[in-house]
Chains A and B, each alone.
Chain A
C-alpha cells in the first residue's frame, strides 16, 4: 500500500531563513508521481510541483527547490529566504501508476504547518 510520511508537524522560522520540509514515501510501484501542494488558510490546495519516478533531477523554481532521492524514498522541499506569505500547510502526495487502485487518487501526508515570523 502506498504511504506518505511528513514527520514535521509544525515548523517556525524567522523571515529570510531557509527551511526544508521533509517527505518520505512508500510504494511498491516502479512508476509513480510525487506532488507538493500548499494550503493557505483559505483552504484551497495550490499545486506546486509534480515529479515522476524516472526523473531524479532536482528542480528549482524561484525560491522553491525540490530534492528527489529514490535511494531514500524522499522528496524534500526547500524554501530559500522565506517570506511571511509562505506561511501555510504544505502537503506531499503520491500517485501510483501501475496498480489500478492507486492510479486515480492522490495519497497525501498529514502535512507540515509552516509559520514564517516577521
Chain B
C-alpha cells in the first residue's frame, strides 16, 4: 500500500516564476493538507482540501493556491515566487470523515523548493 507520494522531490526556481507541486494521498484517504517547513522551523499549515474544495486556509497569501482532483490527488501552486518561499513543502493525507483530531495525518517526504 503506497503511502503519500509527492513530486518532484527537489526543485529550483527563479524569483518571480510560478511552481506546481503534486501530491497523491494514501489509499483510502480523501483529504489533503499542505504544509510549508522553512529550514529549522516546524511545518506551517497552508490549506486543506476535501471534496475538491478548500476547507480551511492558514495565514498564507493568495499567491498560494491549490486544487484537488476527483481522484483526491492535489496540487499546490505558488505564483510570483519570492526567495522566502524556499522551503520543504509537505503534503499530508487523512480520512475526511472527521476533523484532524479524529485521525492521524500521514505525511509524504516533501518537495524541497529552492528559489534563487
Residue ranges of A at the interface with B (Cβ–Cβ < 8 Å): 4, 32-33, 35, 37, 42-47, 50, 52, 91, 93, 95-97, 101, 103-111
Interface size on B, residues (CB 8 A): 26
Q: Tell me which residues across on chain B come within 8 A of A110, comparing CB atoms.
A: 40-42
Complex: A104 Cα to B88 Cα, angstroms: 21
Known A42-B109, A97-B99, A97-B101: A104·B42 in contact at CB below 8 Å:
no
Known A105-B56, A110-B40: A44·B108 in contact at CB below 8 Å:
yes
> From A113, which residue of chain B is reached at the shortest CB distance?
B40
Complex: A103 Cα to B92 Cα, angstroms: 15
Mind listing 12 A-B residue pairs with CB under 8 Å?
A: A33-B100, A33-B101, A37-B107, A43-B110, A97-B99, A97-B101, A103-B99, A105-B56, A106-B35, A106-B43, A111-B41, A111-B42
Least CB distance from B116 to A in Å reads: 20
A43 and B88 within 8 A (CB): yes
Contact among B42, B43, B55, B100 with A95 in the assembled complex (CB-CB below 8 Å): B100
Which residues of B in the span 102-116 have a Cβ within 8 Å of any Cβ on A?
Answer: 104-110, 112
Residue ranges of B at the interface with A (Cβ–Cβ < 8 Å): 33, 35, 40-45, 48, 55-56, 58, 88, 90, 92, 99-101, 104-110, 112
Known A97-B99, A101-B56, A103-B99: A47·B104 in contact at CB below 8 Å:
yes
Least CB distance from A105 to B in Å reads: 4
B101 and A105 within 8 A (CB): no
B40 and A108 within 8 A (CB): no
Q: Tell me which residues across on chain B come within 8 A of A108, comparing CB atoms.
A: 42-44
